[in-house]
Amino acid sequence: MLRRWRRDGVFPDGVPQGFDCLVSGVGILATAIGLSKAFQNKKYKSAIQMGIAGAYRSSGLSIGDVVEVESDCILEFLPWEPNTFFASGVLPFERKPKRVKGATVLNCAKTEETGNARGKKAQIETMEGAAFFAVCEEYEVQAVQVRAISNYAGLYDKDEWEIERALRSLNELACPI
């Protein structure tokens, strides 16, 4: 099942003409390094980060929902190091998803207690969003982040995550471009 997901991804018919696709990998460092290399090799006006996310139960979001992240921070750095980054671009899609606050985390919430605590600061958690916004800001690239909910943060049983459903939701949003 995972092999099929990796092959098909968000663009099962290929990346739309006029777009480049970077698969940076999971996490803050992989995203920062991969995106920095891409931006050093080519000048971009805008970038869209698409991926999956865990929703905090207090968010009211459901598995399969697609959201646009309007702001993101590295949660573990708060409150010692304020670090909120903001979206600066416009989605090129007809359908406009709900806008949410994201939290970039070093580790997924593995307990309901952690998920509930983090849910007081954000609606979703990812492992790359703040790095994406920060690198785009540094290179003066307009940035938009779109995520599909694959699981509830705090539920760490990956067998319960619905990655394929989340990717289908992203595909439905992105395919018209």
Q: What is the DSSP string of 26-66?
A: SSHHHHHHHHHHHHHHS--SEEEEEEEEEEPGGG---TT-E
Residues 68-99 have pLDDT tens digits of 999 998 877 766 666 678 888 887 887 889 99
33 within a domain of the structure (yes/no): no
For residue 5, what pLDDT is reported?
37
86 within a domain of the structure (yes/no): yes
14 within a domain of the structure (yes/no): no
Residues 120-129 have pLDDT tens digits of 889 999 989 9
> What CATH number has the domain bearing residue 148?
3.40.50.1580
Q: Give the predicted TM-score (pTM) of the model.
A: 0.84
DSSP 16: P
40 within a domain of the structure (yes/no): no
C-beta of residue 174 within 8 angstroms of C-beta of residue 117: no
What domain range includes position 125?
A: 45-174
6 within a domain of the structure (yes/no): no
Q: How high does pLDDT run on average in the chain?
A: 83
Place of tokens 């760490």: 156
C-beta of residue 154 within 8 angstroms of C-beta of residue 110: yes
User: Into how many domains does the chain fold?
Assistant: 1
List, in sequence order, every residue forming a beta bridge with 52; answer none if it has no partner.
148
Residues 8-55 have pLDDT tens digits of 455 666 776 777 777 888 889 999 999 999 999 999 999 999 999 999
pLDDT band at residue 177 under the 50/70/90 scheme: low
Q: Cα 26 to chain center, whole Å?
A: 10
**What amino acid occupies position 167?**
L
